[in-house]
Amino acid sequence: MRSRASSSGDRAAPRCRRATGAVLLRDATLAALLALAGCGPTASRPAPRVAIVPVDTVGVPAAEGQALQTALTSALDRSRAARAVPGAAAAAAAASQPAEWTRCRESSACLAGVGRRVPADLVLSLAVAGLGDLRLVRSRLLRADDALPLQDLQETVQGGRPALETYAGSLARRLFPEAARRPWYQQWWFFVAAAGVAGATAAATWAVVRSQRHATGVVHLGDL
């Protein structure tokens, strides 16, 4: 005849096993959620749309300004930091503004209006002046929604048109720097792997607990 204590232990054993499994599953799930939600990668913002208005040229052929704009557009196409809107759309928006283009180019509010008509998030105005093979390039970057100036650079480039095309890549990287790459322990695959390890550890622990269970329902985890 089984004792009352033994009978009570048998009835308590399934409850103990279920409670232990629930605790392990809860802890593994919590660890995974904390890893993915608290330290995981955040959604990246979309790259801003940039309207590069027609380049103003002084003392150099207009083709040099067009070459600079084309090279800068190509540099942005290879970058993830910004997206250049089609040049035809920017040119059409610039032509549709009511003020004379020479005056509009010097007005942040007018340039911002051009950007909103494209539509674009940012507006980049470029001017190139030259003497011999020396070029002076002015770059003005501003926000389209409120005309806030973000950059106003004046730089010299030696070497004529070929140097301008090379300079475009450097200018794009400085005006639109790419975000620093996350270290390996902040990459998405690291957190997915960590969540998987947490789940596997919980499953393995529960398997060991079940294998060490006595008939009385007492879990034996080892001897000291």
For residue 5, the model assigns a pLDDT of 47
Q: Where are the domains of the chain?
A: 4-42+182-211, 49-175
Amino acid at 132: G
pLDDT for 10 equals 52
Q: What is the pLDDT of residues 16-39, one digit of tens each?
A: 555 555 555 565 565 555 555 544
For residues 99-106, average pLDDT: 85
- Contacts within 8 Å (CB) and 24+ apart, 160-165: 160/64, 160/130, 160/133, 160/135, 161/63, 161/64, 161/67, 163/133, 163/135, 164/64, 164/67, 164/68, 164/71, 164/128, 164/135, 164/137, 165/67, 165/68, 165/71
| pLDDT for the residue numbered 99 | 74
**24 alpha carbon, distance to own chain's centre:** 36
Pick the CATH number of 49-175 from 1.10.3720.10, 3.40.50.2020, 3.20.20.60, 3.40.50.10610: 3.40.50.10610
CA distances from 44 to 41, 49, 109, 121 (A): 9, 15, 29, 17
Q: Which of 54-68, 94-108, 146-160, 170-184 has the lowest mean pLDDT?
A: 170-184
